[in-house]
Amino acid sequence: MRVEIWHNPACGTSRNALALIRHAGIEPDIVEYLQATPDKARLREAISAAGLSVREAIRSKQPEYLALGLDDESLSDEALLDAMVATPILINRPFVFSPLGVRLCRPDSSMVLDILPPCDKPFTKEDGGVVIDERGNRVR
């Protein structure tokens, strides 16, 4: 199964999603999107495929969000997408793509399990949170 992750190695949620993909026995295509920023069309497609609005896919907690005036509700999706491409730290992460769907795995990295083959091996996140217990059940 081909899986792609838009990854930021400095982000714990992104690291946990990557670890879960690998835990499922898949070595994904890793796109460090801060260096290899998707173009506007690809970003728009990813957001749509994940069932999100552009505002739901933007990192509003980044200082750049306010500095660029992106909190202005009158801004169009096109303006927000332009800002995200120009300043990729504003793209929420991690986006994960698989033949089973697209997910923005935030705030919970375990959302990636929705688009991976079943995995019943125990898994614990780097912060100690159990995602799959010793019986192979997903913990929510």
Alpha-carbon distance 65 to 84, whole Å? Answer: 9
Alpha-carbon distance 79 to 14, whole Å? Answer: 26
Catalytic-residue membership of 119 = no
Catalytic residue among 11, 19, 52, 68: 11
Alpha carbon of 66 to those of 18, 51, 61, 72, 104: distances in Å? 29, 25, 8, 9, 22
Instruction: Please provide the DSSP assignment of 86-104 as one string.
Output: HSGGGB-S-EEEETTEEEE
Active site residues: 11
